[in-house]
């Protein structure tokens, strides 16, 4: 008799707006609060660090985390601003859990601009999105899979599912020693 494997999965979305730091970020993104670019980057990073212990605990318990907009996103958006250095942006992220896989959903900024609610938040400007895309190209690592986000939702879901299943099947038990850390070597 065949048995189906059960695998626990949890979605984490950044920015986690329910925390005190997350509420400040939300006010900033909704244009209710103005902050200096470097300070904003540190808030985004602090939001990831405040949830890091929870992430480690879940990973050690065998839960696969699907994380939407993690450190790479924070670094890309911050360093796409004039005067904010890429290496400076990476520095406060050093040591956060490193993902086994990064799926980069690439879509032309002109297409993204036509989608619902685009433009409501601070960074939703077509020219800025082009700069962010350029930074993502610099940040890409071996564990990245670039996906065409201009596909149908169904096709994209199927592709994401297949890639994710493959990575989950390859991974074994997780201990705190086996959890990689972001940018601990000079990347």
pLDDT tens figures, 57-114: 999 998 889 999 899 999 999 999 988 999 999 999 999 999 999 999 998 887 877 7
Strand partners, 68: 13
The two beta strands, 64-68 and 144-148, are: unpaired
Q: What is the pLDDT of residue 1?
A: 43
pLDDT tens figures, 118-173: 656 677 788 888 999 999 999 999 999 999 999 999 999 999 999 988 888 887 66
pLDDT band at 3 (very low <50, low <70, confident <90, very high): very low
Q: What CATH number labels 9-170?
A: 3.40.50.300
Q: What share of residues in the chain are helix, strand, coil (percent, to 5)?
A: 45, 10, 40
Question: What are the extents of the domains in the chain?
Answer: 9-170
Exposed e or buried b for every residue in 138-167, given b needs 16+ CB within 10 A? ebeeeeebebeeeeeeeebeeeeeeebeee
pLDDT tens figures, 27-39: 998 989 999 999 9
């Amino acid at each position: 008799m065949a048995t189906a494997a059960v695998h626990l999965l949890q979605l984490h979305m950044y920015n986690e707006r329910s925390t005190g730091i997350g509420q400040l970020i939300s006010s900033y993104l909704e244009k209710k609060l103005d902050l200096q670019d470097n300070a904003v980057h540190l808030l985004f990073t602090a939001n990831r660090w405040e949830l890091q212990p929870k992430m480690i605990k879940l990973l050690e318990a065998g839960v696969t985390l699907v994380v939407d907009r993690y450190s790479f996103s924070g670094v890309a958006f911050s360093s796409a601003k004039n005067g904010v250095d890429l290496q400076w942006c990476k520095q406060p992220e050093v040591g956060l859990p490193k993902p086994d896989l990064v799926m980069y959903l690439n879509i032309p900024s002109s297409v993204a601009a036509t989608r619902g609610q685009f433009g409501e938040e601070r960074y939703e400007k077509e020219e800025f999105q082009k700069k962010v895309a350029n930074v993502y190209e610099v940040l890409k690592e071996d564990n990245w899979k670039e996906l065409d986000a201009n596909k149908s939702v169904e096709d994209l879901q199927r592709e994401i599912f297949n890639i994710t299943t493959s990575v989950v099947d390859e991974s074994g038990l997780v201990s705190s020693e086996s959890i990689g850390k972001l940018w601990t070597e000079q990347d």
